């Protein structure tokens, strides 16, 4: 049974991400872990120094979080009514990113689905800080769901690549599952200054085609116009409802996360965005 982690702060934004996950996996048996972390500023520093004095306060926050998680579970089961879906609620006194990583490891989580909105709420900011840290540190794929009333289920999936890294079949198990379930088309967008591939890139391209053999895959080529411009341009000219990239130290995605915020303005992620962990070569 698939295990999906759903972090929540009980906002409507996080609920929209949860709703997307319910629809995305509506035909698949899943266990969803509803996770909420609490680190009240009033006693964050004191908790570590005077843990015994804070026991009652910690119990209060934990009890309150559990109650809200159970209420959230009731809302989800009432709205979606899916017997294939089971839920586990989890509240923890911890930083969100740290608890997500612990839960992934302890529960063997297959996938994380979470919202993208940062604390600032500024639309021009690429992703919220928590989302970026989870993507950079996690060992399983993450689907970041932008704030929206609704998102279409993935029919046309955009996968930008420069064929710079070699892909492995295991990396794409969750993406292949989504493609199969929704009969999606994978649109591979090669961004390069030259349309001629060197031997290494040609080999990586062949490996990618082998991984998705038997599935609907379209290959597209664009000149080196900057990855942000290429992605935005392709989306404006094509019907795209899901974006996927591989996180690797040599890829554009890693550079994007490392650059100052000002360089990310213009890269507006308006569709669900899956980030797949890379591997060291």
Joined together, the tokens standing for residue 191 give 């961004």
Average pLDDT over residues 94-118: 91
Which of the two residues, 98 and 279, has the higher pLDDT score? Answer: 98
Q: Is residue 82's pLDDT more than 50? A: yes
Q: What is the dihedral of CA 140, 207, 253, 219, to 10 degrees?
A: -120
**Which residue in 206, 172, 184, 199 sits closest to 271, CA to CA?**
184
How far, CA to CA in Å, does 141 sit from each of 67, 113, 269? Answer: 29, 9, 17
**Side-chain half-sphere exposure of 129, counting CA atoms within 13 A:** 4
Q: What angle do CA 143, 90, 14 make, to 5 degrees?
A: 40
Q: Is residue 113's pLDDT more than 50? A: yes
CA distance 117 to 129: 9
CA distance 4 to 278: 19
Q: Is residue 56's pLDDT more than 60? A: no
Q: Tell me, what DSSP letter sits at residue 167?
A: -
Secondary structure of 39-79 in HEC code, one letter for each residue:
CCCCCHHHHHHCHHHHHHHHHHHHHHHHHHHHHHHHHHHHH
Which of the two residues, 53 and 60, has the higher pLDDT score? Answer: 60
CA distance 222 to 171: 25
Joined together, the tokens standing for residue 179 give 């493609």
Domains and CATH numbers, the chain: 2-145 (3.40.50.620), 156-277 (3.40.50.620)
Name the one residue in this structure whose structure tokens are 């200054």: 193
CA distance 7 to 96: 8
Average pLDDT, the chain: 83
Q: What is the pLDDT of residues 15-50, one digit of tens each?
A: 999 999 999 999 999 999 999 998 755 554 544 444
**Which residue in 181, 220, 205 sits closest to 25, CA to CA?**
181
Which of the two residues, 128 and 96, has the higher pLDDT score? Answer: 96
How far, CA to CA in Å, does 70 sit from each of 33, 63, 65, 74, 87? Answer: 12, 11, 9, 6, 10
Q: Is residue 266's pLDDT more than 80? A: no
**Which residue in 52, 89, 93, 96 sits closest to 74, CA to CA?**
89
CA distance 175 to 210: 14
Q: What is the pLDDT of residues 227-250, one digit of tens each?
A: 777 888 888 889 999 999 888 765
8 A C-beta contact, residue 109 and residue 4: yes
**pTM of the predicted model as reported, rounded to 2 decimal places:** 0.86
Q: Tell me, what DSSP letter sits at residue 262?
A: G
CA distance 44 to 27: 42
- C-alpha 27: how far from chain center: 20
- pLDDT classification of 62: cutoffs 50, 70, 90: confident
8 A C-beta contact, residue 25 and residue 110: no
Predicted local confidence at residue 120, as pLDDT: 44
Predicted local confidence at residue 118, as pLDDT: 47
Q: Is residue 219's pLDDT more than 50? A: yes
Predicted local confidence at residue 126, as pLDDT: 46
């Amino acid at each position: 049974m698939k295990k999906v982690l759903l972090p929540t702060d009980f906002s409507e934004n996080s609920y929209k991400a949860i709703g997307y996950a319910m629809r995305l996996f509506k035909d698949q048996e899943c266990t969803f872990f509803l996770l909420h972390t609490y680190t009240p500023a009033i006693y964050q520093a004191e908790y570590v120094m005077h843990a015994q004095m804070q026991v009652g306060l910690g119990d209060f926050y934990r009890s309150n979080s559990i109650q809200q998680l159970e209420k959230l579970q009731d809302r989800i089961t009432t709205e979606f009514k899916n017997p294939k879906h089971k839920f586990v609620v989890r509240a923890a006194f911890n930083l969100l990113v740290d608890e997500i990583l612990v839960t992934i490891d302890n529960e063997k989580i297959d996938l994380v689905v979470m919202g993208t909105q940062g604390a600032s709420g500024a639309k021009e900011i690429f992703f919220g800080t928590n989302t970026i840290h989870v993507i950079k540190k996690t060992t399983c794929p993450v689907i970041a769901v932008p704030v929206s009333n609704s998102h279409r289920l993935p029919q046309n999936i955009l996968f930008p690549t420069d064929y710079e890294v070699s892909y492995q079949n295991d990396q794409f198990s969750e993406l292949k599952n989504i493609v199969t379930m929704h009969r999606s088309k994978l649109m591979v967008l090669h961004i390069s200054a030259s349309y001629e591939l060197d031997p290494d890139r040609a080999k990586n391209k062949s490996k990618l085609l082998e991984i998705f053999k038997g599935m609907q895959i379209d290959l597209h080529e664009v000149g080196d116009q900057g990855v942000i411009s290429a992605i935005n341009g392709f989306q404006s000219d094509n019907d795209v409802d899901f974006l996927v990239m591989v996180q690797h130290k040599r890829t554009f995605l890693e550079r994007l996360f490392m650059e100052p915020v000002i360089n990310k303005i213009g890269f507006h992620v308006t569709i669900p965005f899956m980030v797949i962990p890379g591997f060291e070569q």
